[in-house]
Amino acid sequence: MLNQILCNNIQFLHNFTQNNEKSHFTSHHHTDCEILCIVKGSGTFLIEDVSYEFTENTIFFIPPGKYHVLKTPPHENYERYVVSFPHELIPQCIAQLHGFCKKADPAVLDLFRKFDSYTKIYPAEPLHTLLLSFLSELLIILAYDTQNSDYSPLEMPQLVTGAIAFIAENLDTPLSTKDIAAHLFVSPSYLQHVFTKTMHISIMQFVRLKKMYTAREYLLRGFQPVQVASLMNFNDYPTFYKSFRSVFHISPSSVGKTK
């Protein structure tokens, strides 16, 4: 770890990992947006139903709620910048910014380095103002960067992309591995094997994750937790409560009240 700061709801991280002894997987999800800038290193990065091969100076924008997996090869130096922030901090002029993977422009890398140097100079209050400015400038540059086109994704198993699409279309219904496998005309065990190997998460863990993010959107729109449990087709509220808390580590009634 080289540097990490947290100002209100924005986190800036500069991280360096040297000579991993084995391939390193980092899989997670988050309710915030994330910008990941790979300064050194290579590997593959999966964002739900798309996967990319990256090298140094690659930048990703990951929208909220997207499950993603990073894999770096063994014995490779890996340096990155990460900025995470609430979606509402995206400037209105680029409010429709979507996920992408592209080569980082030198100006973008300079911007990261400049703010990194600021963290060693300024105290917390002015640093927060600088961080907001840095974030806005970074997002606008990335949104209007037409010289660096998005990377072409790697080919994903059709069984996995088909499963993800079917899950997305049926989040308000009860889903099981057997149901999804039947729709795709394969055995549940084969589907589970291919899905877990590709996604590094079981298919039912993925289903729960996507269901809970949909539930969270309902809660943010003002629906009551018991209503949401019914909308998401849970048989009882305690099961919904347990699932929601396992994903977000807060109760459904706390959504919108904690930052």
- Give the pLDDT mean for 175-202: 96
Q: What is the DSSP-derived secondary structure letter of residue 253?
A: G
139 and 163 in a single domain? The answer is no
Mean pLDDT for the stretch of residues 64-69: 93
The parent domain of residue 170 ranges over: 158-254
Structure tokens at 126: 């002015």
- CATH code, domain carrying 101: 2.60.120.810
Instruction: Write down the pLDDT at residue 151.
Output: 85
The structure tokens listed for 58 are: 């690659």
In angstroms, the Cα distances linking 123 to 126, 129, 131, 240 are: 6, 11, 12, 43
Which of 16-30, 40-54, 107-121 has the lowest average pLDDT? 16-30
The predicted model scores a pTM of 0.88
The domain that holds 216 is classified in CATH as 1.10.10.60
> Residues 6 or more apart from 247 whose CB is under 8 A from it?
208, 209, 212, 213
d(CA 199, CA 207): 12
Q: What tens digit of pLDDT does each residue of 204-251 get?
A: 999 999 999 999 999 999 999 999 999 999 999 999 999 999 999 999
Residues 126 and 164 in one domain: no
Q: What 3-state DSSP class applies to 133?
A: helix
Give yes or no for a contact between 168 and 210, defined as CB atoms under 8 angstroms apart: yes
Closest residue by Cα to residue 67 from 218, 233, 240, 203: 203
Tokens of 165: 């699409």
Q: 195 and 206 in contact (C-beta within 8 Å)?
A: yes
What mean pLDDT is reported for the chain?
90
Host H or E run for residue 7: strand 3-7
pLDDT of 20 over the 80 cut: no
Query: What pLDDT, on the 0 to 100 scale, is given for residue 24?
Result: 55
Does residue 258 have a pLDDT over 70?
Answer: no
Using the 3D structure, point to which of 91, 110, 143 is the last residue of a domain: 143
Last residue of a domain, one of 112, 143, 174: 143
Q: What is the count of structural domains for the chain?
A: 2
Phi, psi of 193, deg, nearest 5: -60, -50
Return the ∠ at Cα 213 (arms to 207 and 219), rounded to 5°: 135
Q: What is the mean pLDDT of residues 88-93?
A: 88
